[in-house]
Amino acid sequence: MRIEVNGTPRDIAASTVADALSELGWGDARVATALNGDFLPAASRATHPLRDGDRLEVLAPMQGG
């Protein structure tokens, strides 16, 4: 299916957010996720299904003031 990851269209085989993160190389990374604009806790990633056209945001620690 095709989803949008951090604003970029990606074709992925995974059907859950947890599997998608692994497929994208962020399986062990310290990241937070939001799906279609809503926070998706890490504990829900394995059970939350992905659908075609979903918007996934994957955020990481960054410098800030």
Partner 1 sequence: MRDFYGVTLPNALLLGTAQYPSPSVLQDAFRASGAGVATVSLRREAGQGQAFWSLIRDLGVRILPNTAGCHSAREAVTTARMAREVFETDWIKLEVIGHADTLQPDPFGLLEAATILCAEGFHVFPYTTEDQVLAARLLDAGCKVLMPWGAPIGSGLGLNNRHGLRMLRAAFPDVPMVIDAGLGLPSHATEAMEMGFDAVLLNSAVAQAGDPVAMARAFAFAVQAGALARDADPMGVRDMGAPSTPLIGRAWL
Buried b / exposed e over 21-49, threshold 16 CB at 10 Å, is: beebeeeeeeeebebeeeebeeeebeebe
Q: Confirm or reject binding of residue 57 to partner 1 (CB under 8 A).
A: yes
Which residue's CB is nearer to partner 1, number 32 or number 46?
Answer: 32
Which residue's CB is nearer to partner 1, number 1 or number 58?
Answer: 58
DSSP category for residue 16: B
Q: Residue 17: enclosing H or E segment and its boundaries?
A: helix 17-23
Q: Confirm or reject binding of residue 37 to partner 1 (CB under 8 A).
A: yes
Q: Which of 2, 23, 27, 39 binds partner 1 (CB under 8 A)?
A: 39
Binding site for partner 1 (CB under 8 A): 6-7, 26, 29-34, 37-39, 41-42, 57-65
